[in-house]
Amino acid sequence: MSLIELKIAALAGDGIGPEVMREAIKVLRAVEKKFEIAFQITEGAVGWAGIDASGQALPDETLALCRRSDSILFGSVGLPDRDPSIPKEQRPERAALLRLRKEFGLFANLRPVRLHKDLGHTCPLQPDRQSGGIDMLVVRELTGGMYFGQPKLTQEVTEGGVTFQRAIDTMVYTTPEIERIAHVAFKAAQSRRKKVTSIDKANVLENGVLWREVVTRVSRNYPDVCLEHLFVDNGAMQLILKPGQFDVMLCENMFGDILSDEAAALAGSLGMLPSASLGATSGQRTFGFYEPAGGTAPDIAGKNLANPIAQILSTALMLRYSFGLNAAADAIENAVSQAISSGLRTGDIYTPTDSSARRVGTIEMGSAIASGI
């Protein structure tokens, strides 16, 4: 078998970013030993680390590194207490994250939510609501809809001698935008339990009617995948009542923003949740941006307390969705599952009432997962 060589830009960022990135790279090195893959991992400064190094949240050389890489493995950026005089547009959350999303045309956000059977205590739902397990993937359209549609403005209006303000946001979707994200959802479902639940508000919104029509049409290319439609209000309710019914949940931008956070809460801790944002596909590869769903967690940074699992699972998403390396991705996910089954717990998923659980730090958790590959 020939060696697959992949160029990864590793941008750890701020707070717990460097600690959890170190463990993710440790796991990728273990994957290299087991599979015929070579990772060329180059680290770049981003966030406050970028500002400190060269005055920009996304330094030019980091952007150049990303452009010559096959994918970006990202930590997180932003430290709320750092220099409040720096305007929002130059702060890392906007200047780095939004810029990267735009630069690489990241139009699909994928958030898997899986509750490990031994971590039921971290889920806010009663055990009977968790029955059948929680293992779903939220696929969210990321570049269209209400967040970007024009016109978008606040204006002063005078009517009947009374002056007031009016805010306008516009929800716009085109057929190609819906088709593109629907294909992502159906393809993802093919490697899962083969069910897509499409979320819309077709009973009220024109966008919802078009969304439903286009998704139904795209589904005909995937006869092995079962499609169902839910109105967004019912979808929000069903997530809490019977989350086990969902495999892939397909949402437009705003509904996905809300429902992906609702779904995330079911997994108990932000430290368990990876996320992928996908851009264009060329040949067998899809450019992607992979990061933990949580932020920089300044409250626990630098103390070996952070859960590295979200960052480690981000590497599994990268191997699966950017490079189609499903066996290597499975190996990472199984090693995470094994570490939890063996009782290892970082503080965020630890409970003293579980006598088989052992509290460990970031480094020990990362090492256990790496040796489980």
Active-site residues, by number, are 147, 201, 233, 257, 261
Hey, what are 318's tokens? 């990268």
Q: Nearer to ligand NAD by C-beta: 16 or 332?
A: 16
Which residue in the set 66, 113, 232, 306 belongs to the binding site for ligand NAD (CB under 6 A)?
A: 306
Residue 268 within binding range of ligand NAD, rule CB under 6 A: no
CA distance 344 to 354: 11
Residue 299 within binding range of ligand NAD, rule CB under 6 A: yes
Minimum distance from residue 226 beta carbon to ligand NAD (Å): 33
Residue 291 within binding range of ligand NAD, rule CB under 6 A: yes
Residue 106 within binding range of ligand NAD, rule CB under 6 A: no
Name the one residue in this structure whose structure tokens are 């209400």. 146
CB-count exposure of residue 309 (10 Å: 0-12, 13-18, 19+): buried
At a CB cut-off of 8 Å and minimum separation 6, what does 161 contact? none
Q: How far is CA 242 from CA 108, 126, 199, 265, 272, in A?
A: 25, 11, 16, 14, 21
Residue 93 within binding range of ligand NAD, rule CB under 6 A: yes
CA distance 2 to 309: 30
Which of 48, 137, 114, 51 is closest to 332 using CA atoms?
A: 114
Write down the number of H helices and E strands in the chain.
12, 14
Residues 113 and 264 sit within 8 Å (Cβ to Cβ)? yes
Candidates 168-176, 214-222, 247-255, 305-313; binding stretch for ligand NAD (CB under 6 A): 305-313
Total residues interacting with ligand NAD, rule: CB under 6 A: 24
Residue 79 within binding range of ligand NAD, rule CB under 6 A: yes
Residue 78 within binding range of ligand NAD, rule CB under 6 A: yes
Minimum distance from residue 256 beta carbon to ligand NAD (Å): 16
Which residue in the set 71, 207, 253, 307 belongs to the binding site for ligand NAD (CB under 6 A)?
A: 307
Q: Nearer to ligand NAD by C-beta: 179 or 262?
A: 262
Minimum distance from residue 157 beta carbon to ligand NAD (Å): 34
Binders of ligand NAD among residues 310 to 369 (CB under 6 A) are: 310, 348
Binders of ligand NAD among residues 3 to 22 (CB under 6 A) are: 16, 20
Candidates 123-131, 225-233, 303-311, 351-359; binding stretch for ligand NAD (CB under 6 A): 303-311
**Residue ranges of the alpha helices (H) in the chain?**
17-34, 48-54, 60-67, 92, 99-103, 175-190, 206-219, 232-241, 253-266, 309-317, 326-341, 362-371
Q: Nearer to ligand NAD by C-beta: 23 or 252?
A: 23
DSSP per residue over 75-113, as a string?
Answer: EE---TTS-TTS-GGGSHIIIIIIHHHHHTT--EEEEEE
Residues 104 and 96 sit within 8 Å (Cβ to Cβ)? no
Residue 145 within binding range of ligand NAD, rule CB under 6 A: no
Residue 41 within binding range of ligand NAD, rule CB under 6 A: no
Residue type, 78: G
The residue sitting closest to ligand NAD, measured at its beta carbon, is 295
Q: Nearer to ligand NAD by C-beta: 152 or 303?
A: 303
Q: Nearer to ligand NAD by C-beta: 207 or 314?
A: 314
The number of residues making up the chain comes to 373
Q: How far, in whole angstroms, is CA 253 from its chain's centroid?
A: 13
The residues binding ligand NAD (CB under 6 A) are 16, 20, 76-80, 93, 97, 270-271, 291-292, 294-300, 306-307, 310, 348
